[in-house]
Structure 1
Amino acid sequence: MRRRLLIALTVFSTLAVFAFAVPLCLTAATSRTQQFVLARTGDADRFAGLAVTADRLGDNRALSVEVDRYRDLYGESVLLVDARGTPIVNAGVDTADTAVAAALAAARRNQRPAPVTRLLPWSPHTVLIARPVGSDTHVQGAVLITASTAAARSDITGVWTIVAVGALVAMAVFTALALVLSRWVLRPLAGLSGAVAELTATLPKPRGGTPVTRRHGGPAELRAVAESFDSMAAAVRDSALAQRRLVDDTAHAMRNPLAALTIRLDSLEPAIPERAAPTFRGATREVERLTGLLDGLLTLAVAEGTDFDPATVPAGEHCDAVQVVKDRIDAWRNAFEAAGMTLIQVADYPPPVTAAGAHDAGRSGPNAPSSGNPRAEAAISADALAQILDVPLSNACRYAGPAAATRITVTASSGEVILTIADNGTGVAPGELDQLTTRFFRGASAADVGGSGLGLPIAAALVNARHGSLAVEAVAPQGLAVIIRLPAADIPAPLSWDAS
């Protein structure tokens, strides 16, 4: 890949250099050609003026002296002819040359001469410059100069050489930069590819192919990294599935022996002597704790293995969160009162709303909700929401402490339903907040109270499976709050009825 990237960068830099150098060279050649043509045309016009003066005086000696001096100075031949084409002064021009004859004939006819093409280092050594003698209405002859292009071509070659050297230097600089850039870009990729390949080699081969490699092309190195990542993702997915299946199978396999052990312990209880009764009761509690732990693992495996789209919620997969909260308060009120605590519901919801978030105010008819019966339709079944709410309520009842008050707030906002279970109890240490939804984690305040550490992870898994979120936050000045966000159910509004 480094070679291909280097080639691509070099090609682009070469095109950029050529796009700058070629127009510069052509502009320099055009400018030098114009300078050359203007100089020789001026010389020819000067000789034409001298020829008019000589014709008026009837003496060509001064004209011949100027032509010979010009040839000696510049090494270029000059020819002057009269109106009939008869040579007047000839300083080295071959009159038999057809190109010379054609240029003189065109000048005697006062025709515009053909433009001189752009001079290049390989252009002809001489160029014919012809000009008429006399006025536009009365042409008395013509002047022709065989101009040498050696000096102009040498200047053009010098400019082109400088531009070529500069282009080569620029190409060398760009190539070095491309090499450094390619190494800088690809060094992390090479390290990543090696690390991923080494890690993938230790993972079990995933079932099925690697769709990223099949669907997309690209350089071999990137395809190798994509294939390694795809294999690693598939292996992680298979491992997570195998983990959930292992937990599920293990819990199922152990429940029967534990049930049999419980029955045997119950049958042994009358025969246990008094001095062994504490040990027997401890063993019974451990069996019950293990049974509860297996039940929690089963529930967690089921919760983590479920998922659905809130946009396609079945008819029975939605509930009124306000009513579910009222039911759970009725179910837990006795337990809270026995523990010396208070459990209340705070009316923090808006006027009646539909699941889509539109206010029901102004609707009429037999199906219209009354203003005293607000609803907050959530995309979850009543049983699942009750199972979720039981976790923070159980924790508050067991860990908040005597005289603590627990408040449940339901808020229906646009597109979601928010349930907040907050208490003013002892709370937890700030460093433990982020770990409360971790499996088997139990805070320092719960060390002396029974529990498996799976309640909040199960509730979080159930909420996450429904594209919601569960967060645990501290309450000022003290206490703990569990905030549950669930998507609102998209329930069509009932038809309106008009009594008239």
Structure 2
Amino acid sequence: MRRRLLVALTVFAAIAVLAFAVPLSLTIATSRTQQLVLARSGDADRFANLADAAVSGGDSRALADEVNRYHELYGENVLVVDARGATAVNAGADGTDPDIVAAVAAARRNQRPHAVAKLTPWGARTMLVARPVGTGVQVNGAVVIEASTARARGDITRDWAIIAVGGMVAMTLFMVLAVTLSRWVLRPLAALSHAVAQLTATLPKPRADTVAPVSLAGRHGGPPEMRALAESFDAMALAVADSADAQRQLVADTAHAMRNPLAALTIRLDSLEPSIPRSAASTFRGAGAEVDRLTALLDGLLSLAVAETPAAFDRTRIADAHCDAVQVVADRFDAWCSAFVAADQELRVASPSPARAEVAVSAEVLAQILDVPLSNATRYAGPRARTELAVVTEPGWVVLSVHDDGAGVRSDEIDKLTTRFFRGSAARAGGSGLGLPIAAALAQARGGTLTVHAERPHGLAVLVRLPAAVAG
């Protein structure tokens, strides 16, 4: 993976360097070409003016002297012809060269000079600059300068070499940065992949009937190292999920299997009751109470295992289930009124309530969820406490709350109330500490949440947030 990353970074770096170096090199070549053309065009215009003066005055000695000095000083050839095309002054030029002949003919016709090709280090050694002698109406000859491009090409070569060296330095810096970056990024990834592979090797193999989800590697692809890491994560997630399912199934099987011996023990204790002497009656009743508590605990474990096991639910039935939360709240109010009266407490339904609140949960499950906080309120809120049921609708959600103004729970224990087997320090004897965890698991299995909050100035509130049923 590091090699592929380095190749990709190198390609991007080369593209960036070339995108800067190539236009800069072409700009330098164009600028140097224009400088040479402008300089020689000025010289040609000066010779054309001298030639025009020589034609007017009938004396070409000054023109010849100037041309010869120019040839000796710069080493460039100059040819001046008269109106008939005859050579007037020649300083080293080959009058029979086809290019020079064509340039003279074009200048005598007063044609616009052709654009000079851009110079390159490997380009032509000379370039021709031609100008007509006289005005556009009367052309009295032509001047042609055969300019050397050696110096201009040398400048371009030097500048291009500097750009090339700068590009190589930039590429070297890019490569150093790419190597450093790839090591910084991939070193922890390699260590993570190795650690995950070692951990996966120690996990138990998934059961044959376990349905494997679509793998990350199959869904997203990627480099072989990333696919190997994704496959290790897939295997680890599958093994962990399978272990969690097996654990929940073990709890359910154990609770179910122990119910029969407990039922038999209860029958035996009941049959022994007439034979128990009066001195041991209290001990016998305590043993019966402990059996009843153990039975309730096993029932709670079985309910919790069922609530937390996704495979235990019929997904189609869950998706199609819905009920009116307002009606379920009214039913639970009727069912629990007598229990609250017996506990010297008050139960009421908050008003105003919505006319209907369709929630994507069956009436039986919603009633089971609400029964837990209602039962806790009757047992722990205390005498003369008031408990209120409320239903609130939100976009896409239905929120049900059970809140009381009773004794409440200590602030450091609020977040622990949905933990298995946890019971508040103020709770009296009895209870298994599984009611709220079961209700929370039921809500979570249906896409909702159950949270517990403290009421002000005292009391407790249980909020159940469930998805609203989709109107169909």
TM-score of the superposed pair, with normalisation by structure 2: 0.90
Residue by residue, what CA displacement relative to the aligned partner does 1:78-136 show, whole Å, maximum 9, x if unpaired? 22222333222222222232222222232233333322111111112111222222332
Q: Counterpart of 2:37 in structure 1: which amino acid? A: V
Tell me the number of residue pairs that the alignment of Structure 1 and Structure 2 aligns: 465
Deviations along 1:242-272, whole A, 9 cap, x unmatched? Answer: 1222122112211111111221222222233
Match of 2:285 in 1: 281
- Provide the C-alpha distance between the structure 1 equivalents of 2:404 and 2:37, rounded to a whole number of angstroms: 99
Q: What is the CA distance between 1:481 and its match in structure 2?
A: 1.5
- For residues 23-75 of structure 1, give each alpha carbon's deviation from its aligned partner in whole angstroms, at most 9, with x where no partner exists: 11111111111111121122122222222222333333222221221111101
Cα distance, 1:307–1:199 mapped onto 2, change above 3 Å: farther
Corresponding residue to 2:404 among 382, 401, 423: 423
Aligned partner letter, 1:343: E
SS at match of 2:426: helix
RMSD: 2.5
What's the offset of the Cα at 1:378?
3.5
Q: Output aligned runs, 1:27-426, within 5 Å.
A: 27-206=27-206, 207=210, 211-305=215-309, 306=313, 308=315, 312-314=319-321, 317-319=322-324, 321-339=325-343, 341-350=344-353, 352=355, 354=356, 376-426=357-407
- Quick one: which of 432, 457, 461 aligns to 1:452? 432
CA pair 245-201 structure 1, distance change in 2 beyond 3 A: same
1:146-199 deviation per Cα after TM superposition (whole angstroms, max 9, x unaligned): 211111111212222222222222222222333333333334433432333232
Match of 2:419 among 430, 433, 438: 438
Aligned-residue offset at 1:408: 2.3
Q: Residue in 2 aligned with 1:372?
A: none
Mapped pair 1:464 → 2:469 = no
Distance 1:277 1:318, change over 3 A: same
Q: Contact 2:381–2:459 at 8 Å: present in 1 too?
A: yes
Secondary structure of the corresponding residue to residue 348 of structure 2:
strand
Provide the secondary structure at the position in 1 that maps to 2:218.
Answer: helix
Query: How far off its partner does 1:491 sit?
Result: 6.2
C-alpha contact (below 8 Å) 2:345/2:378 kept by paired residues: no
Unaligned runs of at least 5 residues, structure 1: 355-375, 493-500
One-letter amino acid matched to 1:18: L
Amino acid at match of 2:465: R
Q: CA deviation at 1:222?
A: 1.7
Asked if the contact 1:348/1:410 (under 8 Å) is kept, the reply is no
In the aligned structure 2, how far is the partner of 1:463 from the partner of 1:208? 24
Q: Does 1:20 align with 2:20?
A: yes
* Cα offset, 1:414, TM superposition: 4.7
**Quick one: structure 1 residues 331 and 87, their matched pair in 2 at CA, closer, same or farther if it must change by over 3 Å?**
closer
Query: Aligned partners of 1:486 and 1:96: how far apart in 2?
Result: 100
The answer to whether the 8 Å contact 1:108/1:139 transfers is yes
Look up the SS of the partner of 1:445 in the other structure: coil
Native 8 Å contact 1:466 1:486 kept in 2: yes
Q: Report if the CA contact (8 A) 1:343-1:406 is conserved.
A: yes
The answer to whether residue 466 in structure 2 is matched with residue 486 in structure 1 is yes
One-letter amino acid of the structure 2 residue matched with residue 71 of structure 1: H
CA contact (8 A) 2:353 2:390 kept: no
User: Deviation string for 1:428-475 (max 9, x for gaps)?
Assistant: 1111111111111111112x4111111111111222223222111111
Distance 1:204 1:293 in 2: 30
Q: Alpha carbons of 1:39 and 1:330: their partners in 2 closer, same or farther (altered >3 Å)?
A: closer
User: What is the rounded CA distance, in whole Å, between the counterparts of 2:297 and 2:318 in structure 1?
Assistant: 34
Structure 2 letter corresponding to 1:171: M
Task: Find the counterpart in structure 2 of residue 358 from structure 1.
Answer: none
Q: Structure 2 unaligned runs (5+)?
A: none
Can you list the C-alpha shifts for 1:336-384, whole angstroms capped at 9, x where unaligned? 3333x213213323353x4xxxxxxxxxxxxxxxxxxxxx444333332
On the 8 A contact 1:417/1:486 being kept in 2, the answer is yes
Contact 1:310 1:489 in 2 (8 A): no
Name the SS of the counterpart of 2:30 in structure 1: helix
Tell me the SS of whatever aligns to 1:245.
helix
Residue pair 1:248, 1:298 contacting (<8 A) in 2 also: yes
Q: Aligned partners of 1:101 and 1:385: how far apart in 2? A: 105
- Report the secondary structure of 1:452's partner residue: coil
Distance in structure 2 (CA, Å) of the matches to 1:411 and 1:134: 100
Q: Is the 8 A contact 2:354 2:391 kept in 1?
A: no
Instruction: Give the 3-state SS of the residue equivalent to 1:444 in structure 2.
Output: coil
More displaced stretch, 401-410 vs 15-24: 401-410
Percent of aligned pairs with the same amino acid:
65
Q: In structure 2, how many angstroms separate the alpha carbons of the residues matched to 1:81 and 1:189?
A: 80
